[in-house]
């Protein structure tokens, strides 16, 4: 991820540990994604719950890096809405 926005110059990481909140968002999105994958697999294949969850996690893995970036963007927007930078 870039240090600053190329268009407006917004500094993305305001302080050390700034994206800790993005980790919580990423965790929640990951749980929802795995749950959706699990439900779809269970409905389609009628496997045991253990097998469904294992395969849902495996299917989720390629989505983890983009989901992390998306969580950072959500965190930036939430932080900007609550505490905008004053010039």
Res 87: pLDDT: 57
pLDDT in tens, 27-78: 999 999 999 999 999 999 999 999 999 999 999 999 999 999 999 999 989 9
The Cα 39–Cα 4 span in angstroms is 39
Question: Under 8 Å CB-to-CB from 27, ≥6 apart: which residues?
Answer: none
pTM value? 0.80
Q: Largest alpha-carbon pair distance within the chain?
A: 57
Closest-CA residue to 74 (of 37, 34, 36, 21): 21
């Amino acid at each position: 991820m870039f240090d600053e926005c190329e268009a407006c110059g917004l500094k993305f990481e305001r302080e050390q540990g700034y994206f800790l909140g993005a980790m919580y968002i990423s965790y929640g999105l990951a749980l929802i994604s795995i749950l959706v994958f699990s439900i779809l697999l269970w409905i389609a294949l009628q496997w045991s719950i253990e097998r469904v969850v294992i395969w849902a996690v495996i299917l989720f893995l390629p989505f983890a890096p983009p989901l992390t970036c998306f969580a950072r963007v959500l965190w930036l927007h939430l932080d900007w809405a609550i505490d905008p930078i004053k010039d």
